[in-house]
Amino acid sequence: MRSRYSAYVQGLEAYLLATWHADTRPPALDLAADQSKWLGLAIRQSRMLDTTHATVEFVARYRVAGRGHRLHEISNFVFEGGCWYYVDGLVRG
């Protein structure tokens, strides 16, 4: 999760796509169009559901046009071929 957050901060689209599970991966990303300034990441909880599935609850803070926002998500990951892949997430209010 931390590496994916860092990739968003640095605009590393190829890394994000490579760590996204093939079943849910978008065809492309356009981070250059994103005007967000990422401010920080807090991992609230991580849980192993079984040997190949895990969740990570996090809050990422960012600013757009001078206004602060928070992304609170519970992300689902799956372990395949020796790597963890992001599958999807539930955005919390």
The domains located in the chain, with CATH, are: 2-92 (3.10.450.50)
* Ordered alpha helix ranges (H), the chain: 2-10, 13-18
Percentage of the chain beyond pLDDT 70 is 100
Q: What is the pLDDT of residue 32?
A: 86
Phi, psi of 13 (to 5 degrees): -60, -40
Rounded mean pLDDT of the chain? 96
Q: How far apart are CA 30 and CA 26, in angstroms?
A: 11
Query: Does the pTM of the predicted model rise above 0.85?
Result: yes
Provide CB contacts within 8 A for 38, sequence distance 6+. Answer: 5, 8, 9, 60, 61, 62
